[in-house]
Structure 1
């Protein structure tokens, strides 16, 4: 195995300035409450499987008042 040294540039290395973004993550209380309620309901018993047209597969039947969209919004 032969190793060689690559040609180095005549230009000095440039240091990049680092930036710190001030980001505040907000979590809606409504989403948190919905998720907690869903988990409480789900823990009582298993829901029957139903076919989801939206996903194209079987999922647990969602409790009354819940949609896949509303549960997905909790994660995003």
Structure 2
């Protein structure tokens, strides 16, 4: 059942007259047993060859030749609008985003920040 407010949809069926309920139950129970033992998933297939072992299909792991360079530019970009490292910044609610953010400097809007990206 769903609520009356959302349309009152009922998923299922009704048996009329009620005396046929036992007969319908027996039929459904029998079908359930048959399809539980040998289910039909809607796709028929046949296995043509046996799957190989996991070790035969595994690919050895390769190490990438990567050099990580950390020059601190991220912190410079973070403090581009002023302020010093360790300085506490005021946190305010931003209704446009629906979450809390650091208070923006005077004259800067959220839209301007998105345009930077």
Rg: which structure is higher?
2
Under a length normalisation based on structure 1, what TM-score does the superposition of the two structures give? Answer: 0.44
Normalized against structure 2, the TM-score is what? Answer: 0.30
Asked which structure has the greater RCO (Cα within 8 Å, sep 6+), the reply is 1
